[in-house]
């Protein structure tokens, strides 16, 4: 039984005010709710990791980074290592988000190196994959996911130390969600590929999240799709009530 994971990716949004207040509000709700049947995670911008981590302390909500460098340390101005994220209190890090792939030209090989660096630092990488609108229209969605997965997964390690996020690029920030049928097809394809790459047992244990315009209004339907083990939430994670409602929609 895979426990669902609801992860909020704040992207490049949030100053200390109101970012820390948002984290505090969620932490208060989580403490009041007692043990949850699913995992919650917040990935704020790097300057907010420490204050948001402090706000979340004593709650069941985890902290994650949005990206890391593939090297441990050195002359890489502006970059953040996985070890630094771990040191700041993170348990997870997103790697290969489509916005990183597009804005920073990250290749599958780079994403793999980052995922491996994350694991070496004791973090769980959330490896993001997903096709563009053009690729879907051309009927290449599953082939693109296959290429990304086979070249960007870390090569070794336990399945519990890895999460996959399927985020079709055309559904990110657009209000357009993939249909439950599209999501079921993509997730089944991903799980079959993982079985080829990592073995049946590992593939069965791995969590595969869906991301792309997940909102309180569609969360229950998407989270009920077979093979969907949680959500990676952008815009709606910036509102405490909306993010909480998405978690509460876990079946």
Farthest-apart Cα atoms in the chain, separation: 48
Toward ligand 13P, which CB reaches closer, 164 or 198? 164
Active site residue 167: yes
Question: Terminus-to-terminus CA distance in the chain, angstroms?
Answer: 13
Catalytic residue among 116, 167, 189, 242: 167
Would you count residue 66 as binding ligand 13P (CB under 6 A)? Answer: no
Element spanning 5, H or E: strand 5-9
Q: Are strands 5-9 and 230-233 parallel, antiparallel or unpaired?
A: parallel
Residues numbered 219 to 248 that lie near ligand 13P (CB under 6 A) are: 232-236
Would you count residue 95 as binding ligand 13P (CB under 6 A)? Answer: no
Q: Cα torsion for 242, 52, 171, 36, to the nearest 10°?
A: -50
Q: Among candidates 73, 85, 80, which has minimal Cα distance to 49?
A: 85
Query: DSSP letter at 78?
Result: T
Would you count residue 146 as binding ligand 13P (CB under 6 A)? Answer: no
**Alpha helices (runs of H) in 121-234, residue ranges in sequence order:** 133-137, 141-152, 180-198, 200-205, 216-223
Would you count residue 167 as binding ligand 13P (CB under 6 A)? Answer: yes
Q: 81 phi and psi, to 5 degrees?
A: -85, 160
User: Residue 211 CB, nearest distance to ligand 13P (Å)?
Assistant: 4
Residue nearest to ligand 13P (CB): 234
Toward ligand 13P, which CB reaches closer, 93 or 198? 93
User: Residue 235 CB, nearest distance to ligand 13P (Å)?
Assistant: 3
Would you count residue 186 as binding ligand 13P (CB under 6 A)? Answer: no
Cβ contact 41:63 at 8 Å: yes
Toward ligand 13P, which CB reaches closer, 66 or 110? 66
Active site residue 221: no
Would you count residue 211 as binding ligand 13P (CB under 6 A)? Answer: yes
Span from 45-53, 208-216, 222-230, 240-248 in contact with ligand 13P (CB under 6 A):
208-216
Would you count residue 212 as binding ligand 13P (CB under 6 A)? Answer: yes
**Would you call 175 exposed, middle or buried from its count of C-beta atoms within 10 A (0-12, 13-18, 19+)?**
exposed
Would you count residue 148 as binding ligand 13P (CB under 6 A)? Answer: no
Kindly determine how many residues on this chain lie close enough to bind ligand 13P according to the rule CB under 6 A. Answer: 14
Write out the residues near ligand 13P by the rule CB under 6 A. Answer: 9, 97, 167, 172-173, 211-214, 232-236
Active-site annotation, residues:
97, 167
């Amino acid at each position: 039984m895979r426990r669902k994971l609801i992860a909020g990716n704040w992207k490049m949004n949030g100053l200390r005010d109101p970012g820390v207040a948002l984290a505090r509000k969620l932490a208060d709700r989580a403490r009041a709710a007692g043990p949850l049947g699913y995992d919650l995670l917040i990935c704020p911008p790097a300057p907010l990791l420490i204050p948001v981590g402090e706000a979340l302390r004593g709650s069941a909500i985890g902290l994650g980074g949005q990206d890391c460098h593939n090297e441990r340390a050195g002359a890489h101005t502006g970059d953040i290592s996985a070890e630094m994220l771990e040191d700041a209190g993170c348990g997870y890090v997103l790697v290969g988000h489509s916005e990183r792939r597009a804005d920073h030209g990250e290749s599958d090989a780079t994403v793999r190196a980052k995922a491996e660096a994350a694991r070496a630092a004791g973090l769980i990488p959330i490896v993001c994959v997903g096709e563009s609108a053009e690729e879907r229209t051309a009927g290449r969605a599953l082939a693109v996911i296959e290429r990304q997965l086979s070249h960007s997964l870390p090569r070794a390690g336990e399945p519990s130390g890895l999460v996959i996020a399927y985020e079709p690029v055309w559904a990110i920030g657009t209000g357009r969600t993939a249909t439950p049928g599209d999501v079921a097809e993509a997730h089944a394809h991903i799980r079959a590929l993982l079985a080829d790459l990592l073995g049946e047992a590992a593939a069965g244990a791995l969590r595969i999240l869906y991301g792309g315009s997940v909102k309180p209004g569609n969360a229950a339907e998407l989270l009920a799709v077979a093979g969907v083990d949680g959500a990676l939430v952008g815009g709606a994670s910036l509102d405490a009530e909306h993010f909480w409602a998405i978690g509460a929609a876990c079946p």
